[in-house]
């Protein structure tokens, strides 16, 4: 049987947009960034100052009152969730052979990842330790209502 290779000098036409390159690149960029973000987060929360004893509701409220830590935590949230979800996606792509099941699992992964990113971002930027009109016994001690 003769092997016929048609016009070998013309590039293969792309069937569809290919995101694999960008997915691979994202993993390589977000990985080192996450190491810096997470370890700084751990040191600031658990080691610096009073260390682990300083962590309470007020500590978190104080951090999220500062735009710097809001952006920091958002970067951690987005990068970690996209990194993790994309990692799970590659595992699903590697090991799930049924196309419908594979599509279902990948869609579920991104739906869950997207929802968590949405909720987390919402909490970081709308967090209010002393919401107006809340019952006084539910509020932390530092709120002006007490």
Partner 1 sequence: MDKAIAEVASFTVTLMIRRFDPEVDQEPKWVDYDVEMFGTDRVLDALHKIKWEIDGSLTFRRSCAHGVCGSDAMRINGRNRLACKTLIKDLDISNPIYIEPIKGLPVEKDLIVNMEPFYQAYRDINPFLMASDTPAKERLQSPEDRARYDDTTKCILCAACTTSCPVFWTDGQYFGPAAIVNAHRFIFDSRDEGAQVRIDILNDKEGVWRCRTTFNCTEACPRGIEVTKAIAEVKQAILRGRP
Give the number of residues in contact with partner 1, rule: CB under 8 A.
19
Helix 99-126 crosses helix 67-95 at what angle (to 10 degrees)? 170
How far, in Å, CA of 144 to CA of 53, rounded? 24
Residue 37 CB contacts under 8 Å (≥ 6 apart), including other chains: 72, 75, 76, 79
Report, in Å, the least distance between residue 5 CB and partner 1: 7
Question: Which window, 8-16, 63-71, 73-81, 128-136, contacts partner 1 (CB under 8 A)?
Answer: 8-16
| Interface region with partner 1, contact rule CB under 8 A, candidates 18-26, 73-81, 118-126, 133-141 | 18-26
Cβ closer to partner 1: 31 or 140?
A: 31
d(CA 120, CA 126) in angstroms, rounded, equals: 10
Per CB under 8 A, 12 contacts partner 1 = yes
Q: Nearest-CA neighbor of 83 among 41, 28, 27, 39? A: 27
Query: Does 2 engage in binding with partner 1 (CB under 8 A)?
Result: no
- Of 8 and 133, nearer to partner 1 (C-beta) is 8
Question: Should residue 24 be labelled a site residue for partner 1 when binding is judged by CB under 8 A?
Answer: yes
CA 64-65-67 angle, to 5 degrees, is 80
Contact 52, 46 (CB under 8 A): yes
Task: Name residues contacting partner 1, limited to 77-106 (CB under 8 A).
Answer: 90, 93-95, 97
Under the binding rule (CB under 8 A), the answer on residue 62 touching partner 1 is no
Rounded-to-integer distance, Cα 29 and Cα 125, Å: 25
Does residue number 5 form part of the binding site for partner 1 (CB under 8 A)? yes
The contact set with partner 1 (CB under 8 A) reads 3, 5, 8-12, 14, 18, 20-21, 23-25, 90, 93-95, 97
């Amino acid at each position: 049987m003769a092997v016929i290779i048609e016009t070998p000098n013309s590039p293969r036409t792309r069937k569809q947009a290919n995101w694999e390159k960008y997915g691979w690149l994202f993993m390589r960029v977000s990985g080192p960034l996450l190491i810096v973000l997470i370890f700084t987060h751990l040191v600031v929360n658990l080691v610096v100052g009073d260390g682990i004893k300083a962590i309470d509701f007020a500590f978190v409220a104080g951090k999220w009152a500062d735009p710097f830590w809001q952006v920091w935590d958002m970067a951690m949230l987005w990068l970690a969730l996209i990194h993790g979800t994309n990692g799970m996606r590659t595992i699903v792509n590697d090991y799930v052979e049924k196309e419908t099941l594979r599509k279902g699992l990948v869609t579920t992964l991104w739906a869950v990842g997207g929802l968590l990113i949405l909720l987390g971002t919402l909490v970081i930027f709308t967090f209010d330790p002393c919401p107006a009109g809340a019952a006084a016994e539910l509020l932390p001690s530092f709120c002006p209502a007490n």
